[in-house]
Amino acid sequence: MSDSFHRDPTTAAEARAVEFLKREVPAWSKDNGCFSCHNNGDAARALYAATRKGYRIPARVLADTTSWVTQPNRWDQNKGDPGFNDKRLANVQFAASLLAAFEAGYATDRRSLQEAGRKVASDQDADGAWQIGLPNTLGSPATYGTPLATYMALKTLKHAGMPRPSSEAILKAEGWLRQAQPNNVLAAAALLLASTLDPNGSSPRRQEECLNLIRLAQTQEGGWGPYADAPPEPFDTAVALLALAELRHAPGINELIQRGRIFLAAQQNIDGGWPATTRPPRGDSYAQRLSTTGWVTLSLLATGR
């Protein structure tokens, strides 16, 4: 491993995060006898992405997750996390993990991805969104919020390669995302990400509106909070970075990205994870901590060299 790897705190933070997730991801199903949206969804998704970046992940680490997400017909029988029973959100998260498994070569039978797409599409609201929580509720790492959940669902449907009625669900989701308002950092980042899935229907003015909000909301520390005047949080910073990664060729974007990466590296725990981003802030939640770490790791992988 090169000296430059060790000298770059953001790259070293990425590597520590991968080691942390390699320990945590397989632990939940082993210790609890079920599968979780935070370990086998967000956190596993980061490990699948890490393999595509050249990290060596032992087969045993992702074996249980891969077996689980490639059988969407079993998802409804999952015991679920204590105190968390949103099946629609679980379907979105497990389907996203399955898509990441396909992209990394861990899954190969597209029928499972199509079945996951059908489950996700069946949960869509009449207006085209995947409404998570109360209207205008600010999302969190393990609860997403409606704009981010709708983007994640749409991404799965677009890659599932399904005929109708999936195509109708895609059109409805694109329509909802085009009219949704970027009224906070998380929504702006989710809508910016969604615009990259809909290049023909996304207007440059809309992208610039979301990008301007993200630019103005970056704090002196380099991170982002949920609002422009809020303290920075790892999760909001991670989703903002994922959105910026799609536009990193634009003037000034790389500077925003590097400042965000430095903020995240400074917030990392000694064990390699990140403090939970909770709503309200400064809460203590294992689920939010694992999902926060998954999202942050994904953002570092997406924005690294």
Encode pLDDT of 169-216 as tens digits.
999 999 999 999 999 999 999 999 999 987 666 678 889 999 999 999
pLDDT of 256 strictly over 70: yes
Residue 280 is encoded by which pair of tokens? 């309200």
Longest Cα separation, the chain: 54
- In this prediction, residues 37-41 reach a mean pLDDT of 96
**Size of the chain in residues:** 305
**Number of structural domains found in the chain:** 1
d(CA 116, CA 98): 8
Nearest Cα neighbor of 186 from 139, 130, 152, 245 is 139
289's CB contacts (< 8 A; 6+ apart) are 273, 274, 275, 276
CA distances from 57 to 47, 61, 63 (A): 8, 7, 11
Instruction: Give the integer Cα–Cα distance in Å for 290 and 305.
Output: 24
- For residues 290, 292, 294, 300, the Cα torsion angle rounded to the nearest 10 degrees is -150
Which pLDDT does position 4 carry in this prediction? 45
Which of the 8 DSSP states describes residue 73?
G
Find the domain containing 79 and state its range.
3-303
Can you name the residues that pair with 224 across neighbouring β-strands? 233
Q: Which two tokens stand for residue 241?
A: 């970075």
Q: What is the mean pLDDT of residues 6-28?
A: 92
Task: Give the CATH number of the domain where residue 143 resides.
Answer: 1.50.10.20
Over residues 85-89, the mean pLDDT reads 84
